[in-house]
Structure 1
Amino acid sequence: MKVTKVTGRQTLVIASLIFGVLFGAGNLIFPVHLGQLAGAHWLSASSGFLISGVLLPLLALLAISITRSDGIYDLARPIGHYYALIFLVLVQATLGPLFAMPRTATVPYTIGFAPHVSVSANSFGLLIYTGIFFAIVYGLTVTEAKITDLIGKILNPIFLVMLFIIFFLAFIKPMGNTQTTPVTVEYTHHAFTSGFLQGYNTMDILGCLAFGVAVISAIKDLGIQDTRKISWTTAKSGTVGILGIAVIYMFLIWMGATSLHQFKIADNGGITLSQIADHYMGVAGNALLATLTSVTCLTTAMGLAAAFSEDLHHLFPRISYKVFLLINCFFSLLVANLGLDKIITWSTPVLMFLYPLAITLTLLGITSPLFKTDPIVYQVTTGLTLIPAIFDLVNHLPAVLQKTVVAQAMVGIAHHYFPLFSLGFSWIPFATVGFIVGNCVRLLRNKNKRVKQN
């Protein structure tokens, strides 16, 4: 049945779906850590964080809707078959066994279990926990169990209620005044840009590009078929769902900043969140938070595992879905046992490479009706964006690799010749020039065609 108007209740249903797709392990730990790093400058830092962690994912959903894409491959196809294929594999590997999936296991362990285990036993404890975690992920995902419905409708709301109880306690009895908290060097003069880059760690724009088609399909299932109405419904529902995440972000960042009056800056936000939960609710509250976080992250891991396995099976049909799922869970287990700090360290250069490409692809998708989805605009814009993205990757490599002669030479060249490179935004002028040049080439080519026809 064709529907012309979406009700308020249906909007909330789609909004909750978007919230569920995006809210995962990184959405908990990185805002808290950002608050600790930014200190008194937490508001400026949170502004940048909300743009990259909230606004850009919403734009990615709109790009999927406007271009009528069936996923990342479709959206990137105008750039070329091989580029679209490689980009899809890189995004799914990042969301799957390389970083996001291992993080779904290490975050709840860091929050709820690591503080109560001796340093010497932590490695063994992490191995046991992640082994059980990914065995459950495999078992439930391979049988397509309906437990995700139970988790989504009952346990996730309980988790959110508990999180807001902590927010309420922090609000009525704050750990300190944010105006008097220290600011780290990185956030002293560049709080906004540093917060923007910190938002990369949520991987939410990658998640929206990968799972956005599920949101669009849910909207179509309501009976909405007109492209403009689908886009409008996506924008309206996405705004509601993502605003919910934005509210949680702001509270988490604020709590991270106030926590500096009680705790030192931790190596990661998982440790800080554990300390805050223990401060307000004691060991019992911490244990409950750890349990609910484990369940919430389990749902996220199942979604990531299924998406990775389905996409790779579709690309390489000779290898079954179950085999890809097993490979995904096994490698996620191995990576998870490196520990949360190392996962974050190694994911940073990859995200510095992928995010500029994901952002430009999103913006190209949204503006594609203006240039008739001409491949030349996609190709020139992406080609120029690739240059600074590669240099950004090298610039954020772990110290052991950054000290090599080649890496230092590349970073030196970029600092000297690339505008905004020191801030991590050299891709912006490159992408802008690419977009302008691509459109100029398109207009010139079309003009020549008209001349020949006449």
Structure 2
Amino acid sequence: MQTQKLSLKHYLIIGSMLFGMFFGAGNLIFPIHLGQLAGAHWLTAGLGFLLTGTLLPLLGIIAISVTRSSGIYELARPIGKRYATLFMILTCATLGPLFATPRTATTPFQIGIAGHVSASQAPLYLGIYSLIFFGITYWASRKPSGIMDAIGKLLNPAFLILLALIFGFAFIKPLGTAHTAKVTAAYQGGAFLNGFLQGYNTMDALAALLFGIVVVNAIRGLGQHNPTAIAKTAAKSSLLSITLEALIYLGLIWIGATSLTVFKLSADGGLAFSQIAKAFLGISGEIILAVMATLTCLTTAVGLSSSFSEALHAKFPRIAYRTWNRLACGASFLIANIGLDQIIAWSTPMLMFLYPLAITLIMLSIASPLFRHDPIVYRWTTAFTLIPAGLDALNAAPAVISRQTWVQQLLALDDKYLPFAKYGMDWIAPALIGLAIGLSVTAIRWAITAHTVKTDQE
């Protein structure tokens, strides 16, 4: 099968496309807020954040490359077809019209517009803004073949120029010193783990699994058709985008920590970033930030809508890509008007449930050649991860759920018997137990098979 050799320019274009799809609403506001929470421990918290915010998405792309999967369904299929379908639907819904995509509109609105209108006028302005935002999103994502031009060549450079301007002022004349910034109680002894969990909010590990099909199609469009060549190109391109993203994250976290010299701890990263931009550039800083946030969130919205539509169209081909895209953009518009705070509050429990399952799936997929892709290992590990992941979701749910008596009783047992439960990491020990059982069962099956073959030969 003939394969077109790609140049550095092609790798940069694909990497730029991936960066644009990954770097969105949460990627802009959560690092700033993390820096304010961690204070002097900003670097420790930042390293934890990078694991789930950059390294895990990179491993997700590599997992798709190693297994030669075309998307999230194929990656999860060794666990079972029904599980793969359910996991794909939940991930698509989370990244699509339920949480991530609506957030791409509410975040830039919160940063650039909400502070300049009254509370009574905000719903009307949000409605107008989100209607225009998702109208553009639908236009840019209506044809999958146009995603590279819409993201990689146009919007990314504009965003990076605006971000570089903010960074330039921050580093030339910082607001304060990070190493003397106040550290909140949760980050005094658990900065790394808290930073690790904050990385969930970016949703990038889930996005990496969903974006796989977009990456594969984009690479094919450049003339590569050999599966091995596609896998290598995807891994190299994603490394470029993730490295740039990691540098930006550390810069944003540091800026958040230095801002505590001038500002108090903010309720969210959007407000904090708006204050910082205004401190450096006055009203023009707020305008730059509003434009920057809109651009970066728009690129992510296009990527999410395209990936959502392609993944579900591939699984349910009777429904056209354009129909799925209309659903994604229309539902995202409606949910965006609920407001950013409500979206974040209800997305957190879903992320606490899905992320442990995504992490184990990614690790198993990368290591699968070592155990010959045996589904038994996948199934045992996932089975032991499901229950603690569900408990973490209940613990992170809004008070209307988490404060229920039966929920509190379950969480008390969880905290008593499973290590790391108070950190939201209670799934690690069960997952390792499930992995050990799966590998043991596989080893026994191999031994029996080898013995049978040997006996037959004798």
TM-score bracket, shorter-length normalisation: over 0.9
Out of 329-338 and 179-188, give the one that drifted further.
Answer: 329-338
Counterpart code for 1:313: H
Q: Which residue of 2 aligns with 1:120?
A: 120
Matches within 5 A, 1:12-411: 12-142=12-142, 146=146, 149=149, 152-219=152-219, 230-411=230-411
Distance 1:7 1:326, change over 3 A: closer
CA spacing shift, 1:223–1:142, aligned 2, 3 Å: closer
What is the letter of the counterpart of residue 138 of structure 1?
Y
Q: Deviations over 1:184-212 (max 9, x none)?
A: 11111100000000000111111111112
CA distance in 1, matches of 2:224, 2:323: 36
Q: CA deviation at 1:304?
A: 1.4
In structure 2, distance between residues paired with 1:147 and 1:229: 21
CA contact (8 A) 2:3 2:229 kept: no
- Say which SS state the counterpart of residue 119 (structure 1) adopts: coil
- Displacement of 1:427 in angstroms is 1.4
> Which deviates further from its counterpart, 103-112 or 136-145?
136-145
Distance (Å, rounded) in 2 between the aligned partners of 1:147 and 1:389:
34
Q: CA deviation at 1:136?
A: 3.0
Higher mean C-alpha displacement, 297-306 vs 411-420: 297-306
Q: CA deviation at 1:142?
A: 3.6
- Name the CA distance, whole Å, in 2 between partners of 1:354 and 1:47: 22
Counterparts in 2 of 1:260 and 1:351: CA distance versus 1, 3 Å? same
Match status 1:449 vs 2:449: yes
Deviation at 1:446?
2.3
Worse overlay, 364-373 or 425-434? 425-434
Task: Report the AA paired with residue 297 of structure 2.
Answer: C
Structure 1 residues 83 and 150: CA distance shift in structure 2, 3 A: closer
Does structure 2 retain, via aligned residues, the 8 Å contact 1:33–1:272? yes
Alpha-carbon distance change, 253 to 113 in structure 1, aligned in 2, over 3 angstroms: same
Compute the displacement of 1:96 (Å).
0.3
Displacement after TM superposition at 1:233 (Å)? 4.1
- The answer to whether the Cα contact below 8 Å between 1:64 and 1:213 also exists between their aligned partners in 2 is no
Which secondary structure state, in structure 2, belongs to the residue aligned with residue 380 of structure 1?
helix
Q: Which residue of 1 aligns with 2:439?
A: 439
Q: Is the contact between residue 63 and residue 366 of structure 2 (CA under 8 Å) also seen in structure 1?
A: yes
Instruction: Work out the CA distance in 2 between the residues paired with 1:143 and 1:231.
Output: 24
Q: Secondary structure at the residue paired with 1:252?
A: helix
Work out whether residues 106 and 336 of structure 1, in 8 Å CA contact, stay in contact via their aligned partners in 2: yes
Q: Residue type of the partner of 1:383?
A: A
Structure 2: gaps spanning 5 or more residues: none
Question: Identity of paired residues, percent?
Answer: 52
Q: Which moved more, 1:258-267 or 1:315-324?
A: 315-324
Change (3 A) 1:148 1:299: farther
Distance 1:215 1:386 in 2: 29
Residues 381 and 431 in structure 2, CA contact (< 8 A), matched pair in contact too:
yes
Shift of residue 137 of structure 1?
2.5
Give the aligned residue type for 1:300. Answer: T
CA 1:6–1:199: 2 relative to 1, 3 Å: same
Provide the C-alpha distance between the structure 2 equivalents of 1:73 and 1:150, rounded to a whole number of angstroms.
Answer: 26
Displacement of 1:8 in angstroms is 3.6
Note the C-alpha offset of 1:156. 2.4
**Number of residue equivalences:** 454
Q: Which secondary structure does the structure 1 equivalent of 2:373 belong to? A: coil
Question: In structure 2, the residue corresponding to 1:175 is in which secondary structure?
Answer: coil
Out of 255-264 and 442-451, give the one that drifted further: 442-451
RMSD, matched Cα:
2.2
Q: Is the 8 A contact 1:38 1:184 kept in 2?
A: yes
Given that 2:210 and 2:311 are in contact with CA atoms closer than 8 Å, whether structure 1 keeps it comes out as no
In structure 2, how many angstroms separate the alpha carbons of the residues matched to 1:200 and 1:176?
A: 28
Deviation at 1:237, TM superposition (A): 3.0
Residues 289 and 393 (structure 1), Cα distance of their counterparts in 2 relative to 1, 3 Å cut:
same
Query: Structure 1 length normalisation: TM-score?
Result: 0.94
Which has the larger displacement, 163-172 or 151-160?
151-160
Amino acid at match of 1:180: T
User: Which region of structure 1 is more displaced relative to structure 2, 68-77 or 175-184?
Assistant: 175-184
CA contact (8 A) 1:30 1:198 kept: yes
Q: What is the rounded CA distance, in whole Å, between the counterparts of 1:168 and 1:285 in structure 2?
A: 12
In structure 1, list runs of 5 or more residues that go unmatched.
none
1:302-357 deviation line (CA, Å, top 9, x unaligned): 22122222322333334333333333223212221222122111111110110010
Distance 2:362 2:287 in 1: 40
CA distance in 2, matches of 1:130, 1:6: 38
Structure 2 CA distance for aligned equivalents of residues 210 and 420 of structure 1: 29
Cα displacement string for residues 107-157 of structure 1 (whole angstroms, at most 9, x for unaligned residues): 110111111112232222212211222233234434669587255423421
Cα distance change, pair 154–328 in 1 and its aligned pair in 2 (3 A): closer
- Change in Cα spacing, 1:388 to 1:147, as seen in structure 2 (3 Å) is closer
TM-score (norm 2): 0.93
Q: Cα gap change, 1:144/1:359 in structure 2, threshold over 3 Å: closer, same or farther? A: closer
